[in-house]
Structure 1
């Protein structure tokens, strides 16, 4: 009697086990039919514009690394030193052509494409750093730059501009005490600043930043502008020029901008676009603040190294600003309409900014 009751119970347990195993196998098969979708890794190449020791290059590299990490590796941005992928100052062409997907460079290096590029640069009479970034982010500056570049497969966005502190007026072997001292001066000076100083009698030339130390050492030039006190200390310019001349008249700021390939950016998912924008905005502002602090400390370093650090005489600064105003008024009448549009926008914003100071 006991045995007859036990056998059906065992059969029930066995049948239930087989059914459960069959169900699990069916679920496994179903899952196998629809494997989890893998996310394809996106790889970008990005270049700075300066030598490896330049703070702008260092912050460019940190930004690339931060984007890669913030995306969980879905967007890997590989950083390259200026001149390692394409010749120096040709980074924007490489972004346009898709050789690079991103670059961090100075707008004025693209005067061969757009005369207005010199306006959003380290130019005489421009906006000081804080005002320049505000104009770029909130008063239409980024939109105007994109309008200027609309025929190129390149774009930028608010937050992409690092204003940087004012540039050193000159590192010079010659002391400049009057306007006459500019006449015949062999100087490296980029962008519109070089053209304006040329109108004032200087013999200006274009030389890549990485070649400046040697050019001064060899006597190819007698004076040079490059960047901030902090950047220039790291470039060891104290060793090749006795005088460090300070003035915001030639370059009230030294803006650098992140540019991206339009197609590459538009193909990114929305969350990766947000990551790129957020990290770029953080690192451009961080670089500016870092260089403000380091430039304060660099003044004493130059003095301790035996350099004579002094402020450009007001006479020279005022003459430069006046020459710049005449230069830009003339160009506004002769260049494509975008030039006047950008120049007027910056001028109006500058006057409004000055009214609250």
Structure 2
């Protein structure tokens, strides 16, 4: 660690940052809390970060205002696709709450070897190394991002991080097998190459495209089967190439707003829902129909949630946090959504962590193992 990271004021700030994450439930165990309290996040920003399109420089000795921002529960964008940006693509350090919850889901232990797909700033890999005390291999297709991650880990005094330029879909077999694999970009399924490099009792924690966002799943082997377990709501920048190949029958999130058209509103179709509960409903809808996605349209406030059923040739129906249902086109789509919302309520409002899936490839032509056969966990009981 640098002298700066051991100064009393910064030590206290980092300890408070870790304590806050634990109080909010993102951190549950002492090793994860200790990692957040000792790995200096401000050393993992390659010169600064973007906010509202403006680059904010972070000097070697940042002032209190910058440190307040850095040691808050906020994702920080470090690269954007601009001609004057070294990487020329999006890259970030994720929201600390999400990082912490993923580290807890990994169930890390001393000595475990970990592969990270998507190097980011190197912060996540260094947190993992602080917990395991073993080598963490982090890979990315961008040489710029890999170089920055390696330098940041070195600045922070973390000697167990190995940053390499490689294709995430292929993993890094030369360093395997791995006890854990963690993925920090949105994918549509599990690469077969990761499974080849995973220890028999290993685990993959991965954000998988589902219903128009990227909730995190924990994937393990059960004999010859792959089992996915819901972990939490999350959303990540999407991978490219074979890691983002769509399964037949699944509706990707729409990249452009729908054209304006007459809209009907049905009030109080569902309960009023806070963030976590709304994402529980959204996730559940995605387990019931591949029409579930996210779509934007003029007249609906995105802050109220944009989960919807979308059929391009028929219509679209949204359920928002208010409990109101809005629809355009064929009313039958709205009727389907209403029935699904009522079914979720009747089941006792199961959460993301109550859901399980089998992951399969229909043929060797499919590039990833997709979640199929969604069901509630065997010991789930309605409230």
TM-score (normalised: structure 1): 0.28
- Tell me which of the two structures has the higher relative contact order, counting C-alpha pairs closer than 8 angstroms and 6 or more residues apart: 1
Structure whose residues are more often helix by fraction: 1
TM-score (normalised: structure 2): 0.27
Larger Rg belongs to: 1
